[in-house]
């Protein structure tokens, strides 16, 4: 038989080459055809999981979410909702486990786990909901108006469009304050119907969940249905813009009394979750006031003794998305100590931490299903899918395949790690994303990817906006350094915190160290390099444009900070600016935050083509920053282009806008990084 081995090998290689030849490079249009998978819920008995898949119609410029249910033993999967009837989201299992509730057009619907026709439960507008564990009540979120609108102030001026504000936080992320706040209500519920009148448990001009990024994970029922615990920052206006101090409030249904159970804890406290036996309440907490990137801890309250303690004390890394094990003796959480987010377990007794999973990927959400875990997982080269994880040995099994139709036909990029010495002698992790069908004998142009944040992780995440595989698929090697300010490194929180107060210092030198090391790679053309980034990554691009010393041939900045003084005067979450820049510019006018760390001070050195994106609804980094940068480039005679989107905020969210953005992005690179 050995005479057939060469022939068999040749046939296998020919078959592999044929399969590869049928695949195609990732394009912006294909990226928008990929289904976007979200893990929604697990049934009370741990037998089923529900996930949603959002698919976009580029021509219609909109997306629709469909719910799917999977049996965790047989892995049989079927749709629960019909996309022709509209989007379905926010799925929650009824306590019986036999029905799934979901929102469509902000109304609560239910459908049986075997499928069939969905029916309307409550014709009440909701922004989120949760069944009580007893099935006797339903809580939901609804926006309530607490202040008069312009028309109510001036009824004789019905066409007046002015807004009136007496405090800060008059706008946030991409929305102007509209005199409404999200409050929590509950109502009696039986067998798929609601009865009586809703009761507002807050009736205060504060938001729960926290706006705009908080969800129903910030609110929970006690297992006996007697209490609701919710997250709220009970500050308003200017005080709210200066503080991260959210607390957990316990509301008793029988008496209507509310108790602040995190009083005296000055940082973020959120995401409460009761142990299955009802004795313990755990939540995610940050210790420091005004520091939004502080280390996340797991706190525990013993409801029998009222003792409160940090369960993760001594753990120098993040502890995110805590979930109780079924026996109430331990919790699972997500953390990173090698720039990938993995699943960990910590015991209540002895506080022993055990890493469960490994691999070049990120777990982004984990839910408990009896003696198993259901989790969503991504990597730089694969979009989110759902996996079943064995908590004993970390073995995983993919149970959703919503991205396969498109992604299985995409030529894969390759991700490699490098360790680069920084100018102060530290070891820095750098990701290299190599083009599909990479040939080390060739010379490739390269992109320095500057991460935002500035304390956002650069792990194995998958972005539908700044997609590194998409960049590599256009023929670029992507250099993605985990500079100072990024969680997940061996130094833990110290590495993350090092960027605060030093934006234009060591972090920028880290970026240059990564570029200089990459330039030594034989497959990188050091004469064809560009720097690209958004938010703090855009700040980095603007700063590098005045300090790169001819390293780059082109720059691209999206919603970046150009002038730290003007940015401080127009951004909204001032607790972030105060912590990272040291307080208002008028208190320390000569501080580096306002001088040498501000990119505008180096604009006289700009001499390299720059593309500037900015969005009119971006209130975190207002559009004036992009306009200043473009105006300076034009007056200096630097080849430059400004692309503005009037209906987008800090991120690109609409299909056609995003595709236009990507075409401009890659068109600019093609123009200035093409082969000589």
CA atoms lying within 13 Å on the CB side of residue 511? 33
In whole angstroms, what is the distance from residue 232 CA to residue 219 CA?
10
Compute CA distances 200 → 24, 108, 141, 144, 334, whole Å.
54, 18, 9, 10, 34
What is d(CA 467, CA 25) in angstroms, rounded to the nearest whole number?
13
DSSP 86: -
CA atoms within 13 A on the CB side of 413: 28
How would you classify residue 97: left for phi > 0, otherwise alpha for psi between -120 and 50, otherwise beta?
left
Residue with tokens 């006031």: 289
Structural contact between residues 95 and 137, judged by C-beta atoms closer than 8 angstroms: no
Which of 569, 124, 66, 199 lies closest to 577 in space, CA to CA? 569
Alpha carbon 618 to chain centroid distance? Answer: 17
CA distance 531 to 529: 7
- How many Å apart are CA 355 and CA 104, to the nearest integer? 38
Distance, CA of 78 to CA of 297 (rounded, Å)? 38
Number of Cβ atoms within 10 Å of the Cβ of 294: 21
Alpha carbon 116 to chain centroid, angstroms: 34
- Full DSSP string of 151-163: HHH-TT-TT----
Other C-beta atoms within 10 Å of 625: how many?
28
Q: Which residues, at least 6 apart from 238, have a Cβ–Cβ distance to it below 8 Å?
A: 167, 168, 169
Please name the residue that has the structure tokens 């777990």: 363
- 540: Cα within 13 Å, side-chain hemisphere: 28
CA distance 243 to 209: 16
524-534, strands of its sheet edge to edge? 414-421, 427-434, 477-481, 444-450, 524-534, 554-558, 610-615, 640-645
Q: Which residues pair with residue 62 across a beta bridge?
A: 57
| Tokens at 204, concatenated | 């205060």
From the list 243, 294, 618, 640, the catalytic residue is 618
d(CA 569, CA 555): 26
Residue 311 token pair: 């369960």
Task: Reply yes or no on whether 618 is catalytic.
Answer: yes
How many whole angstroms separate alpha carbon 597 and alpha carbon 591?
Answer: 9
Q: Which of 535, 540, 598, 658 is catalytic?
A: 535
Quickly count: other Cβ atoms within 10 Å of residue 135's Cβ.
14
| Inter-CA distances, 492 with 221, 315, 484, 485, 507, Å | 33, 9, 11, 10, 16
Q: Where are the alpha helices (DSSP H) in 220-315?
A: 238-241
Find, among 309, 291, 401, the residue nearest to 34 by Cα.
401
650 is catalytic: yes
Q: Cβ-count burial of 297 within 10 angstroms (0-12 exposed, 13-18 middle, 19+ buried)?
A: buried
**What is the distance between the alpha carbons of residues 111 and 467, in angstroms, rounded to a whole number?**
36
* Active site positions, annotated: 535, 618, 650
């Amino acid at each position: 038989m050995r005479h057939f081995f060469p022939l068999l090998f040749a046939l296998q290689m020919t078959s592999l080459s044929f399969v590869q030849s049928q695949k195609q490079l990732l394009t912006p249009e294909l990226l928008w055809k990929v289904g976007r998978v979200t893990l929604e819920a697990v049934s009370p008995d741990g037998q089923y999981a529900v996930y949603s898949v959002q698919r976009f119609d580029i021509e219609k410029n909109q997306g629709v979410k469909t719910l799917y249910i999977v049996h965790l033993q047989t892995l049989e999967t079927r749709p629960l909702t019909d996309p022709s009837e509209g989007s379905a989201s926010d799925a929650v299992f009824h306590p019986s486990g036999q029905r799934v509730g979901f929102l469509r057009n902000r109304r609560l619907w239910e459908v049986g786990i075997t499928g069939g026709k969905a029916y309307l439960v409550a014709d009440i507008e909701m922004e989120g909901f949760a069944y009580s564990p007893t099935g006797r009540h339903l809580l939901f979120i609804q926006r309530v108006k607490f202040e008069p609108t312009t028309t109510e102030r001036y009824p004789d001026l019905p066409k007046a469009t002015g807004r009136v504000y007496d405090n800060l936080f008059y706008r946030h992320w991409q929305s102007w304050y509209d005199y409404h706040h999200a409050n929590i209500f509950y109502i009696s519920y039986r067998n798929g119907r609601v009865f009586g009148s809703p009761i507002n448990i807050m009736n205060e001009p504060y938001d729960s969940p926290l706006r705009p990024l908080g969800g129903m994970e910030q609110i929970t029922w006690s297992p006996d249905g007697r209490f609701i615990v919710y997250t709220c920052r009970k500050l308003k206006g200017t005080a709210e813009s200066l503080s991260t101090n959210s607390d957990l409030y316990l509301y008793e249904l029988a008496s209507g009394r509310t108790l602040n159970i995190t009083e005296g804890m000055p940082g973020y406290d959120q995401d409460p979750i009761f142990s299955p036996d009802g004795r313990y309440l755990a939540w995610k907490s940050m210790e420091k006031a005004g520091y939004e990137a502080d280390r996340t801890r797991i706190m525990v309250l013993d409801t029998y003794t009222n003792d409160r303690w940090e369960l993760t004390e001594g753990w120098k890394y993040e502890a995110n998305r805590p979930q109780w094990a079924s026996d109430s003796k331990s919790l699972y959480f997500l953390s990173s100590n090698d720039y990938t987010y993995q699943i960990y377990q910590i015991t209540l007794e002895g506080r022993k931490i055990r890493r469960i999973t490994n691999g070049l990927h990120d777990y982004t959400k984990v839910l408990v299903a009896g003696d198993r875990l259901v989790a969503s997982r991504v990597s730089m080269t694969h979009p989110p899918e759902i996996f079943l994880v064995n908590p004993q040995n970390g073995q995983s099994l993919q149970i959703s395949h919503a991205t396969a139709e498109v992604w299985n036909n995409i030529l894969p990029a390759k991700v490699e790690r490098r360790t680069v010495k920084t100018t102060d002698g530290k070891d820095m992790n750098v990701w290299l994303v190599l083009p599909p069908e990479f040939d080390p004998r060739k010379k490739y142009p390269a992109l320095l990817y500057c991460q935002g944040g500035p304390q956002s992780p650069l792990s194995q995440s998958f972005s539908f906006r700044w997609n590194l595989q998409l960049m590599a698929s256009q023929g670029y090697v992507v250099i993605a350094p985990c500079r100072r300010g990024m969680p997940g490194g061996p130094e833990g929180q110290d590495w993350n915190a090092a960027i605060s107060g030093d934006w234009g210092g060591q972090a920028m030198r880290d970026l240059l160290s990564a570029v200089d090391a990459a330039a030594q790679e034989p497959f990188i053309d050091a004469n064809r390099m560009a720097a690209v980034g958004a938010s703090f990554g855009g700040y980095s691009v603007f700063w590098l444009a005045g300090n790169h010393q001819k390293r780059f041939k082109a720059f691209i900045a999206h919603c970046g900070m150009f002038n730290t003084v003007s940015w401080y005067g127009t951004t909204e979450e001032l607790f972030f600016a105060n912590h990272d820049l040291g307080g208002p510019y008028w208190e320390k006018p000569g501080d580096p935050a306002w001088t040498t760390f501000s990119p505008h001070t180096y604009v006289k050195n700009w001499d390299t083509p720059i593309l500037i994106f900015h969005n009119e609804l971006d209130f975190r980094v207002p559009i004036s920053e992009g306009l200043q940068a473009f105006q300076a480039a034009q007056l200096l005679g630097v080849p430059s282009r400004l692309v503005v989107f009037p209906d987008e905020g800090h991120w690109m969210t609409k299909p056609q806008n995003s595709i236009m953005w990507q075409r401009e992005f890659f068109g600019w690179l093609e123009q200035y990084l093409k082969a000589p």
